[in-house]
Amino acid sequence: MHIVHLETGRHLYGGARQALILVDGLRRRGVAGTLACTAGSALAGEARRRGLPVRELRMAGDLDLGFVGRFGGLLDELRPDLLHVHSRRGADWLGGLAAARTGLPALLTRRVDRAEGWPARLKYRPYRRVVAISTTIRRQLEALGLHPPRLALIRSAVEPALQEPAWSRARLAREFGLDPRCLLVGCVAQLIPRKGHAQLLEAWQAVAAGCPQARLLLFGQGPLQARLQRQLQGLGLTGSVVLAGFRSDLSAFLGRLDVLVHAALEEGLGLAVLEAGAAGVPVVAFRAGGVGEIVVDGETGLLVPAGDTGALAAALRSLLEDEAQRRALGVAAWEHVAREHRVADMVEAYLTLYRDLVETPPGHGSLRRPAG
């Protein structure tokens, strides 16, 4: 079986990293795959570093209709058994059109926590299977008329850390110019409105006042960086918050954080939350989207109502002031991720869908690939 995986995101954000994990896991199972991605993207570079087959294509976003022809030409050349579309940046609409043109069986993974209007039904028509990564997304797709067996639920997965982080606590502190005795809280998210950084900084005022030894590291990049810098200055937080930028080496030190905070107001599932759990780091988060499917409130982390900055500040302070609770929640988070979000299980679930698609004749609204 040969599968073409389409992921058009340029950066190594959550969806792109999940595509890499899946393609690599399938390769270990002996399933051939080619990753089609945007020319010059960080994703293409990382895939090549891992030794994965990559084909780069010019892609200008949702309205790049020429991509249908370019990608369709690649599908004609490679003649795979199946297309798996992973991303939303133009790929869901345009990849589906290319699949329909070639008659190739196609599957789409939906990762975004956002309700769609009725026109989105047209987007899903070329896909014989649509995968939601959380029950929140599954309900949104059900509202559009998608139901099993065409609709499936397969949650994201990560490998739990089995050894100490590569960096020491002292090295982590030096990297960001901090005192190693500080309590370190990390936030890993794109600097975009739905990730809730503005609300987080508002909450952090109360945290910094009550826990002056705490420091907040904001990992990520995006269009809100200048606005957040101004907000930091306006709130008087420049001494306790670090805009740490995008880091591709998070796994080297993530496990040295005391807490991960996730203030997203909309979230498909939350790869950063998964990765924190895999590193044994407790999470404080807004109860948004699929986050509650990873964080069990009071057992593997703390959840508060989305947008409630007072509750977020209180939860952070309570955890920062209680080392024993941090340790207990971190251990429970590691066990939960290791049990419920195994890469092997995710790979097997997708492989089952692939086999079903390749072996089952297309139903209503699907096109059989021409023979020859």
Instruction: Describe the crossing of helices 14-28 and 271-278 by its angle, rounded to 10 degrees.
Output: 60
Cα-Cα-Cα-Cα torsion 334, 338, 342, 345, nearest 10 degrees, comes to: -150
In a domain, 276, yes or no: yes
Tell me, yes or no, whether 146 and 260 share the same domain.
Answer: no
What does the angle CA 195 – CA 200 – CA 206 come to, to the nearest 5 degrees? Answer: 175
Tell me, yes or no, whether 176 and 297 share the same domain.
Answer: yes
Tell me, what's the pLDDT at 363? 57
In a domain, 164, yes or no: no
Distance from chain centroid for Cα 340: 16
Domains in the chain, number: 2
Instruction: Look up the domain containing 147 and give its range.
Output: 2-157+342-359
Tell me, yes or no, whether 26 and 61 share the same domain.
Answer: yes
Tell me, yes or no, whether 180 and 284 share the same domain.
Answer: yes
Minimal CA–CA distance to 105: which of 369, 319, 349, 306? 369
Tell me, yes or no, whether 180 and 311 share the same domain.
Answer: yes
Tell me, yes or no, whether 330 and 347 share the same domain.
Answer: no
Tell me, what's the pLDDT at 364? 40
Structural contact between residues 51 and 41, judged by C-beta atoms closer than 8 angstroms: no
Distance from chain centroid for Cα 246: 14
CATH code at position 104: 3.40.50.2000
In a domain, 245, yes or no: yes
In a domain, 93, yes or no: yes
Tell me, what's the pLDDT at 367? 33
pTM as predicted: 0.89
Tell me, yes or no, whether 52 and 13 share the same domain.
Answer: yes
Tell me, yes or no, whether 22 and 148 share the same domain.
Answer: yes
C-alpha span between 134 and 116 (Å, rounded) = 16
Tell me, yes or no, whether 248 and 298 share the same domain.
Answer: yes
Minimal CA–CA distance to 180: which of 197, 167, 163? 167
In a domain, 326, yes or no: yes
What is the rounded radius of gyration, in angstroms, for the C-alpha atoms of the chain? 21
- Tens digit of pLDDT at every position of the chain (372 positions): 999 999 998 888 888 999 999 999 999 999 999 999 999 999 999 999 999 999 999 988 778 899 999 999 999 999 999 999 997 778 899 999 999 999 999 999 999 898 898 888 999 999 999 999 999 999 999 999 999 999 999 999 999 888 889 999 999 999 999 999 999 999 999 999 999 999 999 999 999 999 999 999 999 999 999 999 999 999 999 999 999 999 989 999 999 999 999 999 999 999 999 999 999 999 999 999 999 999 999 999 999 999 999 999 999 999 999 999 999 999 999 999 999 999 999 999 999 999 999 987 765 433 333 333
C-alpha span between 146 and 126 (Å, rounded) = 13
In a domain, 239, yes or no: yes
- Within 8 A by CB and 6+ apart from 197, the residues are 187, 189, 191, 218, 224, 228, 263
Tell me, yes or no, whether 184 and 333 share the same domain.
Answer: yes
Structural contact between residues 145 and 117, judged by C-beta atoms closer than 8 angstroms: no
In a domain, 364, yes or no: no
In a domain, 368, yes or no: no
Tell me, yes or no, whether 10 and 137 share the same domain.
Answer: yes
Tell me, yes or no, whether 321 and 180 share the same domain.
Answer: yes
Structural contact between residues 157 and 341, judged by C-beta atoms closer than 8 angstroms: yes
Tell me, what's the pLDDT at 90? 80
